[in-house]
A and B are shown apart, each in its own frame.
Chain A
Amino acid sequence: MGLKILIVDDSTLTRKKIIQIIHMVDLEVDDFFEAGNGKEALNTLNQTENVDLVLADLNMPEMGGAEMIQKMKSVNAMKSIPVVVVSTESRTERIKELLSEGVKDYLHKPFTPEEFRDIIQTVWSEPQIENTNILEECITQALETMAFMTIMPMENDLPTPQKTILASMNFMGARSGSVHIMASLDCAATLAENIGNLPEIGDDDPADALKELTNVTTGLILPMLATTTADVFAITVPTAETCDDSSQWNEFAADKKCTILNVEGDLIATKLIIDGKI
Chain B
Amino acid sequence: MQIKDFTGIKNNGPLPEPQLVQIPDDIGDLLPDYIESIGSILEQLEEAALAHESGNRTEENSAYIRRVLHKIKGESSMVGFEDIAELYHQAEFAFEELEQNEKSDMLLRLKDWTNAALQHMSN
Q: Could you list which residues of chain A lie within 8 angstroms of chain B, going by C-beta atoms?
A: 11-14, 16-17, 20, 88, 109-110
Choose among B33, B70, B74, B80 the residue with the greatest number of A CB atoms under 10 Å from its CB: B74
Q: A109 near B74 (CB under 8 angstroms)?
A: yes
Q: Are the CB atoms of A12 and B30 closer together than 8 Å?
A: no
Q: Which of A12, A20, A88 contacts B28 (CB 8 A)?
A: A20
Question: Is the pair B28, A13 in contact by a Cβ cutoff of 8 Å?
Answer: no
Q: Does B77 contact A (CB under 8 A)?
A: yes
| Chain B interface SS verdict (over half) | helix
Distance, CA A161 to CA B77, complexed state (A): 67
Q: Identify which of A13, A88, A109 contacts B30 (C-beta below 8 A).
A: A13
**Which residues of chain A are within 8 angstroms of B1 by Cβ–Cβ distance?**
none
Please tell me if the beta carbons of A12 and B78 are within 8 angstroms of each other in the complex: no
Chain A contacts for B74, CB-based, 8 A: 11, 14, 88, 109
Query: In the bound complex, what is the Cα–Cα distance between A11 and B75 (angstroms)?
Result: 8
- Asked if residues B71 and A11 are in contact (CB atoms below 8 Å), the reply is yes
Judge if B6 is at the interface, Cβ distance under 8 Å. no
Q: How far is the CA of A11 from the CA of B70 in the complex (A)?
A: 12
- Check B79 for interface membership: any CB of A closer than 8 A: yes
Q: B12 near A: Cβ within 8 Å?
A: no
Residues of A within 8 A of B78 (CB): 11, 13-14, 17, 109-110
* B54-74 interface with A by 8 A CB criterion: 70-71, 74
Q: Is the CB of A109 within 8 A of B33?
A: no
Residues of chain A contacted by B101 (CB below 8 angstroms): none
Asked whether, in the complex, the Cβ of A13 is within 8 Å of the Cβ of B79, the reply is yes
Question: Does B119 interact with chain A (Cβ within 8 Å)?
Answer: no
A13 x B80 contact (CB < 8 A)? no
> Whose C-beta in chain B lies nearest to the C-beta of A87?
B74
Which chain B positions have C-beta within 8 A of A14?
Answer: 74-75, 78
20 contacts between A and B (CB under 8 A): A11-B37, A11-B71, A11-B78, A12-B33, A13-B30, A13-B34, A13-B37, A13-B78, A13-B79, A16-B33, A17-B30, A17-B78, A20-B28, A20-B30, A88-B70, A88-B74, A88-B77, A109-B77, A109-B78, A110-B77
Once the chains are docked, how many angstroms separate the CA of A170 from the CA of B33? 53
Q: Across the interface, which residues of B come within 8 angstroms of A88, CB to CB?
A: 70, 74, 77
Known: A12-B37, A109-B77. 11 other contacts (CB 8 A): A11-B71, A11-B74, A12-B33, A13-B75, A14-B74, A16-B30, A17-B30, A20-B30, A88-B74, A88-B77, A109-B74
**Could you give, for residues 21-46 of chain B, a 1 whenever the CB lies within 8 Å of some chain A CB and a 0 otherwise?**
00000001010011001000000000
Report the Cα distance A11→B71, complex, angstroms: 9
Residue of A nearest to B34 (CB): A13
Nearest CB of A to B91, in Å: 15
- Please report the C-alpha to C-alpha distance between residue A12 and residue B78 in the assembled complex, in whole angstroms: 12
Residues of B contacting A12 with CB < 8 Å?
33, 37
Nearest to B38 among chain A residues (CB) is A13
The 5 closest A-B pairs by CB, nearest first: A13-B37, A110-B78, A88-B74, A110-B77, A14-B78
Q: In the complex, A23 Cα to B69 Cα: how many Å?
A: 29
Chain A residues within an 8 Å CB radius of B80: 110
List, in ascending order, chain A residues with CB within 8 A of B77's CB. 88, 109-110
